[in-house]
Amino acid sequence: MKSHDYWSIFPRMPRRVEVGDITIRDGFQHEEKFISTAAKIYYAEEMILAGCRNMEVTNLGSPAGIPQFRDAEEVLAYLRGERFRKRCEKAGVDVGSITITAVTIREKAVDQAIELSKRGIGPDRLLMMVSTDEEHHFANSGTTLPEYWREAERCIRKCRDAGMTMCGTVSTIWGSPISGATRLEDAVEFTKRWLEIGASDIEHADHDGSASAAEVYRYFSMILDEMPYPEVHLAHFHETKRVASASVLAALQAGIVRYEGTFGGLGGQPANFLDDTPVRGTGAYYYRDPRYVGLNCIEDLLVMIDELGIEHGYNIDRVLELGRFMEKTVGRRLRSEAVANGRTAKDGHREFARPGLKPRKEKLGETTGQIWPDEWSETPQLPEQYR
């Protein structure tokens, strides 16, 4: 007899996953208006109380290039402060279980994180990133790949000495917006290099929505075949073709247990305009329309994972409420369908029922719950050609 159990068909698929929220960093970096410090703190705190345990909260790069994060120290200070600790304690949240991440693309930012750590307000985890396409990497960091690898190795040693961990990101895995097609095998080798020089975990990034489900499954199967430690690997998907959920499903089937997303699919390339002023960002946008890029929606991601029967640790109804608030914060309708339409209603919507069903069944002599005519057999009899 054939098994139709999902985990029998996909034995690597996890029963529990970890979903991180990176709205405040990756989501807000794409906004062309400054998101207030109060809003950043509000969403960080509320998402942690809703179940998030891994969160990116800022970028410690130069405020001249990315002024959205000129309040980095204030946000970090709040999350190390007494008010936050007490709110967590009251809600039964162990502050020690929360990992706060700051992006530190270059060594100067790593040095800043170390100084913040000495002051008691540093992040737990830093993040540096490489692209397998050197043209894309140069556009982001201004360095060659060999130059950056040496810098990253140096920074990981500094980071470790300061009591922090370093995540290494591999980007352009499934394609580059500058050079086009890339090789999955290169990304596997880049992953090994990050681990060789001491990275604590690896973010595997589809930074521009290039991935397809088949190639995601193939890539993560390659990764776990060669490095079979699911807790080390983190899937990061962007949404440009409305297929990120298929990529998540493929990654689940391959055995990946760590994911991240943003409210409403916010995010993308750092903005090159903020409020009323052009800024450097990372240069010209490489999207046709920057309104329709970003990450996979954390609201939809959690609903999908929940309905697959996979544990995640979130209060989803609270997350959906925060998603509705986020639309007010950024001032527009975002891309979460779960926020717009709600979760699947297990009890239905009785208010939409057409009156008169019960008396009609009684008039016809049908019993409650009867679905077949009396004269039909109890079970369907398939025609010979379909057996």
Residues β-bridged to residue 202: 168, 233
Dist. CA 118–CA 122, nearest whole Å: 7
What is the residue-wise DSSP string for 184-207? HHHHHHHHHHHHHTT-SEEEEEET
pLDDT at 237: 95
pLDDT at site 67: 95
pLDDT lower than 70: segments of the chain: 1-2
Domains assigned to the chain:
6-341 (3.20.20.70), 356-386 (no CATH)
Predicted pLDDT of residue 289? 79
Closest to 298 (Cα-Cα) out of 268, 265, 269 = 265
Give 3-state DSSP helix, strand, coil % of the chain, rounded to 5.
45, 15, 40
Residue 321: how many other CB atoms lie within 10 Å? 15
Amino acid at 248: V
So what's the pLDDT on residue 297? 96
Residue 177: other Cβ atoms inside 10 A: 19
pLDDT in the model for residue 348: 83
C-alpha span between 132 and 36 (Å, rounded) = 34
Q: What's the pLDDT at 185?
A: 98
170 SS3 class: strand
Whether 279 contacts 10, CB under 8 Å: no
